[in-house]
Amino acid sequence: MKHSPHRHADNHPGPLGRPDSVKTAARTLSLFETFAEAQTPLPLTDLAKRIDAPVSSCHALIKTLQALGYVYVLEQKKRVYPTKRLLQVAQSIATHDPLLESASPLLHDLRDELGETVILGKRQGDGVVYLDIIEGTHTVRYAATPGDAKPLHSSAIGKAMLGEEHGEQLKRLLERLTMPSVTSSTITDRDQLLDDILNGQRRGYFVTRGENVDDVMALAIARPVFGETLGLAIAGPMERMSRHYDRYREALMRHGDRLAAL
């Protein structure tokens, strides 16, 4: 089972000193992620186990969400499932995202031209968050989810974000950066990563070869959009990306210019 990173908030009080509120928020998000993974109504005891919560706490959470119209209970089998209320709220939010609303046609154009998965991301602290994913059209393709968090040192967009730093500022960032091995190909040596970033700066784009996901290659660039620095990447199987490398690179750079012109 995929665990939500939000669950780690259970162990840390929030900025206002209200750990119970943080814990409840984390459990609420974990609960909806659990339904997304299970794709079926679930009994209370199963839900409690999956979100790592006492049955009593899970019951109270379900009662609250039921009262607010976000879940309903199948009385015969005592199973719980979300209503479409959350979907409507999420769609309303996503539809009016100023960045994604402007960038979405461009992302789809790039995906349609190459058939590979297109990613839009932004630096958040010492990592990257994926803002939008347009999945490729090939049967075998790279798949990810909006909201996924990736390390700076192992992801293509992360490298593009590192490439926005220069000189001593870049070196200081790399010195304090945690660089775990995500795959056997992940660059964990700071000098080697520095050389990789400097090479990317010289050529104007950044590359990962199985460093974040085995057998997946990605090309990425960083561009200013509405005063924010965003990363644009294409990702797919290593063999296909390598075979079409020059064409993919040219398309990425061309659409990057369109992105910067928004």
pLDDT at 5 exceeding the cut of 80 = no
pLDDT at 20 exceeding the cut of 80 = no
Residue that is last in its domain, among 88, 109, 137: 88
List pLDDT tens digits, range 71-126. Answer: 999 988 889 999 999 999 998 888 888 888 899 999 999 999 999 999 999 999 99
Intra-chain end-to-end CA distance of the chain, in Å: 40
- The answer to whether residues 42 and 59 belong to one domain is yes
- The answer to whether residues 28 and 129 belong to one domain is no
pLDDT at 7 exceeding the cut of 60 = no
Q: pLDDT higher for 20 or 37? A: 37
Lowest-pLDDT choice from 11-25, 56-70, 103-117, 170-184? 11-25
List pLDDT tens digits, range 157-208. Answer: 999 999 999 999 999 999 999 999 999 999 999 999 999 999 999 999 999 9
What is d(CA 219, CA 207) in angstroms, rounded to the nearest whole number?
Answer: 5
Q: Is 83:194 a contact under the CB 8 Å cutoff?
A: no
What is d(CA 150, CA 184) in angstroms, rounded to the nearest whole number?
Answer: 16
Q: What is the pLDDT of residue 260?
A: 95
Apex CA 47: angle with CA 80 and CA 53, to 5°? 135
- The answer to whether residues 116 and 65 belong to one domain is no
Q: How far is CA 4 from its chain centroid?
A: 12
Give residue 68's domain range: 5-88
- The answer to whether residues 103 and 230 belong to one domain is yes
- The answer to whether residues 51 and 108 belong to one domain is no
- Helix 98-114 × helix 245-260 angle, to 10°: 160
Q: What is the pLDDT of residue 6?
A: 37
- The answer to whether residues 184 and 161 belong to one domain is yes
Q: What is the pLDDT of residue 11?
A: 38
pLDDT at 2 exceeding the cut of 50 = no
Quick one: which of 125, 103, 116 has its CA closest to 261?
A: 103
- The answer to whether residues 68 and 103 belong to one domain is no
- The answer to whether residues 109 and 137 belong to one domain is yes
Residue that is last in its domain, among 27, 61, 88: 88
CATH of residue 51's domain is 1.10.10.10
CATH of residue 124's domain is 3.30.450.40
Residue that is last in its domain, among 59, 88, 117: 88
- 3-class state of residue 224 by DSSP: strand
- The answer to whether residues 155 and 190 belong to one domain is yes
pLDDT at 10 exceeding the cut of 50 = no
Q: What is the DSSP letter of 10?
A: G
Q: What percent of the chain has pLDDT over 90?
A: 84
- The answer to whether residues 133 and 241 belong to one domain is yes
Quick one: which of 19, 57, 148 has its CA closest to 9?
A: 19
The domain total for the chain is 2
pLDDT at 155 exceeding the cut of 70 = yes
The total of other beta-carbon atoms located within 10 Å of residue 169's CB is 10
pTM: 0.76
Query: Which residues does 36 contact at the CB level (< 8 Å), separation at least 6?
Result: none
- 3-class state of residue 3 by DSSP: coil
Q: Considering the chain, what is the average pLDDT of its residues?
A: 91
pLDDT at 241 exceeding the cut of 80 = yes
- The answer to whether residues 105 and 168 belong to one domain is yes
Q: What is the pLDDT of residue 36?
A: 94
Q: What is the pLDDT of residue 46?
A: 96
- The answer to whether residues 78 and 119 belong to one domain is no
